[in-house]
Each structure stands twice: as C-alpha cells, then as structure tokens.
Amino acid sequence: MTPEIPKTQYPAHNTQHPILNVEGLTVYRNSYLAIRDVSFELLPGTDTAVVGPNGAGKSTLIQAILNLIPRTGGKIEIFGRPVERLGHLCHQLGYVPQNFIFDRSFPISVAELVGLGWVKRQAGGERIGQAAIAQALRRVGAYQLRNQVIGTLSGGELKRVLLAYCIVMPRKFLLLDEAFAGVDIQGAADFYALLNQLKREEDWTVLQISHDIDMVSRHCDRVLCLNQTVVCTGTPDIALSPQNLLATYGPAFSRYHHHH
C-alpha cells in the first residue's frame, strides 16, 4: 500500500505573487494520460526540481507550461497571466530543452544562435545586441566559441551556449528539461555551479527536470516529486526522504551518489 505523503505548502505569511501557478493540469498524449490533476506554484527566486521515473510526465509538464502542447484540463498562469495570453512577457522566459535537435550541417555560428535571443526594441539595437551577445558568452565561459559553427560543439559546450541565449536579454523565469543530458558528471557539476551563479545574478526563478537526486538535494531549494500526478512537494530534505522516493519511484528505485 502506498504511504500517504503530506504535501508541504509555502508558508501562509508569504505574500509574494507566484511566478507560475498550475492548477488541475491534465494532459493526454494521443490516448495516453501523461499527467493528471497537477497543481503547484513557484514563488520568485526559487529553484525547483521536478523528479520522477521515466514516463512520469516530467517533459510533458514543461511543454504544457510553455504552451507547446495542448492540455485537456486545468489552468496555467505565468506572471499572473494565462499562458495563452502572455504577449510580450514571453520574452521573460528562458528554455533549455533536453535535446536541442538541429541540422549539424547548418552553417550558423555560436554568436548568431545567441543573437536569436536578442529582441531589437530600441534605436541602435543591432550594436547593443552585439555587445550583449559578447557579454552573455563571456559570462558562461564560451566567448572563445563565438565564431564556431554550432554543429561542431560538444554536449557541454552547447548547453553553455543555450544558457548564453537565455541571458542575452534579462529574463525572469528559466525552464530546463534535463539540461544536463549528454554531459558527463564533472561537466554537470560545472554547469550546476554556473547555473547557481547566474540564478543569483539574474534573480531567476528556475524550474528544472533532473534525474540526479544528489545534485538536486545539494543545489535546489524545492522539489516536486511527479509520477503522472504530484506525489509530494517540499524542501529537498522532506521531498527526497526514502519514504517519498519509494512512493514516487516504486521499490525498484536505486539512488546514485556522485563523488567530486
């Protein structure tokens, strides 16, 4: 019998308006029920990880929040607006997908890719944009790659470039779908350190999917355990307890410890 897990809530005295509010979200992929009645919120400045087994609906959740796939039921609000009516506020979102699929023979440079994240809104936009591209690449340690064709990048280099894309303009909300897929353990640790630094500097709210429980426990301040529906939410010490992990993953779950 699955133990009943208490779902922790944000403190009642916190008066901040949530960056993200999800209520009763249900999504079918064709005829398959991918996620059911998912509800949670993200407060400004928090770094929340979504964990769960393969097929739990984690990527579906991110794609629904970004309005990339239709939902069957429920409500999604970002910055207090329905996701369908974000308008210019969509530029406040940054997204790093699990697999950045592209034609590796396509002749686009790193600087050109990062430049796609720049929105020209004022006079002199192109000149200012070039400076912003250079600064973004320097901040993620990828300036030396600026003239390189993106098809020649390693997995870790490409993830850094995608982060540069996210910071070439100020953004408030960053979503990462298995951003460390294809990156070795040390590369993932370096990426986490960079992400934490940028999160502080940019004052991001972060929602990320991860399979690395140890990394999540060290770097995230909230965890949402998902297996089609929300099993529990809370701080890592609560959400990642053996009881909650068993309820989320089942008895076959094995926890991997990384040593650096």
Highest CATH level, class, for 20-100+170-249: alpha beta
Q: Between the ranges 9-13, 74-78, 138-142, 148-152, where is the mean pLDDT highest? A: 74-78
Q: What is the predicted pLDDT for the residue at 83?
A: 95
For 85-96, write each residue's pLDDT tens digit. Answer: 999 899 899 988
Q: What is the 8-class DSSP label of residue 149? A: B
Rounded to whole angstroms, the Cα distance separating 100 from 120 reads 24
pTM for the predicted model, two decimal places: 0.83
What residue ranges do the domains of the chain occupy? 20-100+170-249
Cβ atoms of 73 and 26 closer than 8 Å: yes
Token pair 């909230």 in the structure block, residue: 222
